[in-house]
Structure 1
Amino acid sequence: MVRAGIVGGTGYTGVELLRILVLHPQVEVSVVTSRADAGSRVDQLYPSLRGYCDLQFSPPELKYLQGCDVVFFATPNGTAMLMAEALLALGVKVIDLSADFRIKDPAEWEKWYGMQHASPGLIDEAVYGLPELNRELIKQARLIACPGCYPTAVQLGFLPLLEAGMVDTNGLVADVKSGVSGAGRKAEIASLMSEAGESFKAYAVAGHRHLPEIKQGLARVAGDEVGLTFVPHLTPMIRGIHATLYARLNSRGKDLQALFEQRYREQRFVDVLPAGSHADTRNVRGSNRCQIAVHQPQGGDTVVVLSVIDNLVKGASGQAVQNMNLMFGLAEAAGLETVALYP
């Protein structure tokens, strides 16, 4: 059994990790931390876990985590980088769901996240945890930087086109919508359903902190810098990411449907929909799947890719468990074989 700890067990990604891990056949959740709720029972805060988790929240301290095989950080940015080095020194593997180790240039990270990086020496070691791109590296890793939700949907949508060199990489556009849970479990007026409900808006048009992460990933695949316009939107739903991606084709006549189907044929958690389909967030809700539909409107030189995920599962906690499975030599889909909720 893999002994797992979760730092930050009271947020949406933390409880989503618990939902998945308590049913994982080869994992024992041994520690869940919360500074504010230390000493309280986990199932008191989350009654949905009654009968599945009888732990009490522990303080987020090394002495409670050192007996784990792996520790997940479901914490705000700036927390994992303070504890990762000490855990790694004890032989504990680390999977960080925040952005602390995603961006390879420390100065770029500090620019976008507004703080000094506490562990720049670990950035190069951290493996970017997108299994569809880095599966073999993940298997050997001891520190994983789990991708963000927007970057997951966008990169999976653009990946086949960039690998095949089929599009102009200077004019990529990502028009992406997120449910309110993407803002995290905190008291913030803009993410209250009474504020977000019956409304729809773009935000961070001048620059979102996921932009450098997405560009870094796409540039690696393309072999050069990419020009990307990324505009996020807030939609009045709880879960889901819908990415509508645009690119200019270098030439017409290529079978885009076949390209995507071939690229993801062996990828358990990427589902390329039949030609003419329209991806819908409700069809991935609660699952670790990314569903993709590819279009070439009017047979022209623009390709439109629709990519949908559940931001809390494939966009965060499910993908983190997928990484853990690979790191420990388990079946990649272990604990993740869940059909999406419908309706």
Structure 2
Amino acid sequence: MIRVGIVGGAGYIGGELLRLLSGHTEVEIAAVTSSRLAGRRVDGGHPNLRGRTGLAYVSPEDLPECDVLFFTGSTVADREGRAALTARGKIVYDLSPDLRLADPAVYRRHYGEHPAPDLLGTAVVGLPELYRTRLRTADLVSVPGCMATASILALRPLSEAGLLEPAVTVDGRVGSSGSGASAGEMNLHAERSGVLRVFAPLNHRHQAEIAQATGLDVMMTATGVDAVRGVQVLCHATLSEDVTEQDLRRLYRAAYQAEPHVRVIAQKRGNYRLPEPKILLGSNYCDVGFAIDPGSRRVLLCGALDNLVKGGAGNAVQCLNIRMGLDESLGLDFPGLHPI
């Protein structure tokens, strides 16, 4: 069995890791840390896990030796503390923004000064569809942001084919769980319910990850929507040459026909003609699709996923499966619910 430790298990991503890994046949959850809740039962804050785990939180300093560690929050500000934690695991999956960018100047623009810039560029990006070969041997992996994952997967077939003009605008929409379990006043129900709040009108930080992965000149806006889970991104782009809808369909199918967790959704009829996060809740799928403007080179590329699963914990577990030589979909076969 693979001994796993979750560093910072009290939040939403920690809860999703617990949910997925508690049903994983090759994993033993050795410990879950929380400085604030040490000694309390894990299922107190994650009530969906009642009867599924009897674990209690431990203090970070009591984290035992593990084969794999998952970091759910930022740790780089405490360099010595991070080193002490990483020493207790052979493989680390970091789900925080700490290591997502390779360039310190780009990191500074979106997050401020990095406390340990020498760490930037040391991790493999945890996106199996782009970096599967490197993930098979990677001992340090940085899992990308939720809207970045959806955008990169939506843009990838055309960006790799060189069919996009460099300038791309990404319109991202995300549910309230994207702000985390300790979000402030703006995410109180009375403030969040019923809103379409543009919380990042320009330069959302995930645009740097998208640009890094695709080589495109990305401008991103982000809106909080009246949902708990789910991400949908609309990528507005211009084709560099004349391409038909049939050409786009062939490109997308070729890119993703062998990918177990990406589906191409671009239909002419039905209620769900393009990617819709509602039907993906709880699943590790990212659905991608497209629409082309006849008579012009304007194109809309769309992606959707559950921000806590394929946009976070599920992506990390998929990377773990790859690293350990397991079935890539082990523990990740839940298809989502409909209706919901």
Range class of TM-score, shorter chain: over 0.9
Contact 2:201–2:222, Cα closer than 8 Å, also in 1:
yes
Tell me, yes or no, if the aligned pair for 1:178 and 1:233 is still in contact at 8 Å.
yes
Identify the range of structure 1 (19-28 vs 43-52) with the bigger mean alpha-carbon deviation.
43-52
Within the candidate set 220, 238, 254, 1:262 is matched to 254
1:103 aligns with 2:101: yes
Contact 1:245 / 1:305 at 8 angstroms: preserved in 2?
Answer: yes
Equivalences for 1:195-210 in 2 at 5 Å?
195-210=191-206
Q: Is the 8 A contact 1:73 1:80 kept in 2?
A: no
- 8 Å contact kept, 2:266–2:274: no
Q: Which runs of 4+ in 1 moved over 6 A?
A: none
Q: 1:17 to 1:269 in 2, by over 3 A?
A: same
What SS does structure 1 have at the residue aligned with 2:43? helix
Q: Which piece of structure 1 moves more, 84-93 or 158-167?
A: 84-93
Counterpart-to-counterpart distance in 2, 1:76 and 1:30: 21
Q: Does 1:8 align with 2:8?
A: yes
Question: Counterparts of 2:231 and 2:45 in 1: how far apart (Å)?
Answer: 27
Q: C-alpha displacement at 1:122, in angstroms?
A: 3.3
Residue 128, structure 1, aligned to residue 129, structure 2: no
User: Structure 1 stretches of 5 or more lacking a match?
Assistant: 220-225
**Cα displacement (A) at 1:201:** 2.1
SS at match of 2:200: coil
CA distance in 1, matches of 2:237, 2:48: 43
Tell me the alpha carbon deviations over residues 147-166 of structure 1, each in whole angstroms, 9 at most, x when there is no partner.
00010011001000011111
Q: In structure 1, what is the equivalent of residue 177 of structure 2?
A: 181
CA gap of 1:111–1:168, structure 2 versus 1, over 3 A, is closer
TM-score (structure 2 length as normaliser): 0.93
Aligned to 1:292: 288
- 1:91 Cα shift? 5.3
1:39 to 2:35 alignment: no
User: How much does 1:55 deviate?
Assistant: 1.2
Segment of structure 1 superposing worse, 180-189 or 137-146: 180-189
Count of aligned positions:
333
**Cα RMSD over matched residues?**
1.8
Quote the sequence identity (%): 38
Amino acid across the alignment from 2:13: T
- Check 1:131–1:73 CA distance in 2 against 1; reply closer, same or farther (3 A cut): same
The whole-number CA distance in structure 1 between the counterparts of 2:110 and 2:119 is 18
Q: Give the C-alpha shift of residue 77 in structure 1.
A: 6.2
**1:175-233, CA deviations, whole angstroms, 9 ceiling, x for partnerless residues?**
110001100011411112221211112122232222222211111xxxxxx32121111
Task: Give the secondary structure class of the aligned counterpart of 1:295.
Answer: strand
What amino acid maps onto 2:336 in structure 1? A
Tell me if 1:94 matches 2:92.
yes
Q: Is residue 8–residue 75 contact of structure 1 (8 Å, CA) maintained in 2? A: yes
Segments of 5+ residues of structure 2 without an aligned counterpart are none
Amino acid at match of 1:196: R
* TM-score, L = length of structure 1: 0.92
Deviations 1:42-86 (A, max 9, x none): 12332321221111100112x423x11000011146468655544
Contact in 1 for aligned 2:75/2:81 (Cα 8 Å): no
CA contact (8 A) 2:151 2:302 kept: no
> What secondary structure, in the 3-state scheme, does the structure 2 residue paired with 1:263 have?
helix
The residue correspondences of 1:227-238 to structure 2 (distance < 5 A) are: 227-238=217-228
Which residue identity does 1:31 align to in structure 2? A
